[in-house]
Structure 1
Amino acid sequence: MSEIDLVDGNLALKEIQKLDGHTDRVWSLAWNPAAGAGGLPPTLASCSGDKTARIWQQGPSGSWNCTAVLEDAHNRTVRSCAWSPCGKLLATGSFDATTAIWQQIGGDFECVATLEGHENEVKGVAWNSSGSFLATCSRDKSVWIWEMQPGNEFDCAAVLHGHTQDVKMVQWHPHFDVLVSVSYDNSIRIWLEDGDLNGWSCVQTLGETSSGHSSTVWALSFSSGGDRMVTCSDDLTLKIWDTTNNPSEDGSC
């Protein structure tokens, strides 16, 4: 399908292939952002309750095939996955409380780092736009920020506390090092690095008292320009937020 006429509503989705391989629930998916560069074909990562992640690539004929099974790094469900912006590293977060970093070396994917620190299930992983920071969130109510060092080493830059229930998802602003987390405690928190204090702090909390959600907030997504953010909740609503306001002011929904 070369053209999609959204104005006239002529959008038709057609299944082109079913990908089988996982033996338990598939939790998350992530497209490799580097596809098309350097001859890399369209590439997709998936993760599952079968304790594995899988790499899928589209071949010259147009069909998709599993090219790698990433296993033995986790001993429980792999809940989330995310490619670094350059597409060379894949992070997987697991219910075993660890995050694994994978890299393709010599044609095979290898676990080059295991990030430990969370006390309970890792629910989400997210890279910032430069790939210098990786955020992870957990059922232990915390958000961790990991700073990438040479040689695929990761240092814990901050442990962020504030949520009172498990944190469902984290995501970075597409252009700035602004991190947003959403939680079972019904709130949305915005985090910034404080240069004066050499740490990270919550600069805004969006909850019921600020036109927020009245039940669990499950996910968020930024627009490509970063001027809008959408959140979804158990309260049966989606909320679209204007992110151009000063973080010290009340959020605008």
Structure 2
Amino acid sequence: MRPSTPKLGRTRLFLGNCGAAGYLIPLVAKPELADKLSSTSSHPCDAPNNLAPMSQLRIAQDEHADEVLSTDPFGLLVGMLLDQQFPMERAFAGPAKILDRFGTLDPAVIATADPAPFSDLCATPPAIHRYGRSMAGRVQELARTVVESYGGDAAAIWTGARDTNDLLARLKALPGFGDQKARIFAALLGKQLGVTPDGWREAIGPYAEPGSFRSVADVVDPDSLQKVRDFKKAAKAKAKANT
């Protein structure tokens, strides 16, 4: 039985995302994880992570890329993973590139894909990240964790959390998610996806402050994106001046 999902505003039900080019069969590099795929779904596009209701996000500032973020919880996790040493909107456009080139964002399929071809498609210009090949490996590592710890259901990370502290602990345990990234993603869930248990703002800290423009959690349009950029630029300049 799937964990209950919080009721959200402006939610839609995503029924599958095989990509415009159709589902592409990857080479399986880890047979032990391939069993996860067959046990969770008769077809990768029916996997649980593609059935979670989500709100319409405006992070990548691109209709297709934002649609992917809004309809696929694992895609949103990947976008957060890629959001480092790279422009934010381009990082969050990465999941759509993977979907278009690979054919699915099902973590069970990504986890078992042959690393070399997967790395190639992630690094092909326009790449998913400045360090496309390195981040391809991190995406696969994240996918394996979601399969092994959450049965391939990325949304279960937050729908199954007891409270915000438990959610933060779950996020920090993900590959590539440190304390700051975990708090930013939890703030995004709270501010834009309705994941707001009692005391969530206090548990998360400054990134959850209402009316702030600190991170991707506050990006809802081009204007707010620019405000977040300005905040980060000012914070970096202040830190440099203090060294």
TM range (shorter): under 0.3
> Larger radius of gyration, structure 1 or 2?
1
Structure with more contact order per residue of length (Cα contacts < 8 Å, sep ≥ 6): 2
Q: When you count helix as a share of all residues, which structure comes out higher? A: 2
Q: When you count strand as a share of all residues, which structure comes out higher? A: 1
